Structure 1
């Protein structure tokens, strides 16, 4: 159900008159200028931290869909992927955002029915949970009461990690320092575990040298994770120095998705996002060419996002594509 953004802050806020002189009647409407035309088809995309993968993907999307005044996608640097949903709901000029699916959890109270306010365009990539521990830690319960690092605030690990541990029912002493520092503390025994939530493989575990016993802990996918997460595995060919050949480590993944506010179909902002979908989906092969992030090669336009409904023009595009594929030559 499309919702009018009437109750969500900046998405509906209208400029106030302040203390200036009162208007003396309707202003004359000038002819559409180049500025008007450009703004009519400009889409703001909240992308996250400058050093993160989401803003890099946002910048690549902007390169591929650019069509002058017909479509201009503007990536926006924010405080992090976990803040992008907040920007989408409340920040002027933000039409779309790259979020982790479980970011919706934080808004259940302050925005009742949050899932009806947000719709997804594309499931971009999974971010796998990596719980990397010292040799003396043999299972998740061993971490209770011990120091576990979740990277710096604003990262996926800093938001999703504590949420996942809460669902596991394990209370730990949380730290939020850069992983490079935490990994050294892990070697020295000052930290029991580090939690990464990012696309595999992770360089620190591929290139790093680790003594025997350092390992990933398995996390089994069950009903506690069905609302936002997906089952995943860490494979021996991805981490040959840490996982024996023929073995795998079960874990879960946090979907990273391109989403939009659920604008009403008659609104200009709905039409802007619909045009973005058409350009992006039609040009996805360009993003899969050399020179772009490798994640694009595994993109499945039809992949779903747990807990969210697909943006209607995106579904219509997929339906048209399916019909054309089935049509006789």
Structure 2
């Protein structure tokens, strides 16, 4: 799947302001001294790498899911295009605005955002292991998303990473004798995740080291599955009382076996193990880049502690992915920990 580029809505209005730090670049563009592409390249660039937790998506029939995977974007906690532009088709039903990370950044600076996300994206060894269905959806795993970033002529200033949720489906292809005693399987999956994540993140950091500008990378922990399943259980009870609600709630198990009630406890355990691995990976890699003054690498636990225990935070179709309200909660959590990164790359002034 191709990455989605987004220019902040007030970009040209902001840089046309004489008080803007980018006003001289804007004037050079207006005089024809630099091209539009050169002007855009001088603005802050923000990128998100992730899986469907970062996407405004839900699961239904295979064909409908395929269609949404290739058409629905910019309606999530990172990017929210908001109301349609003049002349664009009117929405049949009103859609609540999400005060996304991009919306909040617009209040601070003009910027360019890139979204590298995909349904079913995994932290992987290489792209060759993609299943036929994932290829059909246009999914790129973590290694493929990293490669997309590295191919860009302009390296991002701020990179947010929220991926790994599909790696904790521990019951998928699990030998029957391990379903009731999964200790070693959980340890193996956690170790495999850590090795792959560290390798790909290291590849990204090596490229960041060669940049002339400052780069901040934020590695988010996996979402709070303990509270998430409380919301899911509420949705299940609602569906029991009214079968019209969450019509594709059970479809979840066709794609993510470990969401089954019998396997949730160990999924929560594995998610906790993975988050500790993420924290340790960031710590280890930070020791390797101490001499690189232009790189900041941080682990953020804010998504891992966000309260997702209400049913209304789950999509009303599948009760699996986040609803608009759920994306609002994730946006608030993610943005709340971006201060040090924004300060490091010069988007925010230094705090006192």
Q: TM-score, normalised by structure 1?
A: 0.34
Higher helix share: 2
The structure carrying a bigger strand percent of its residues is 1
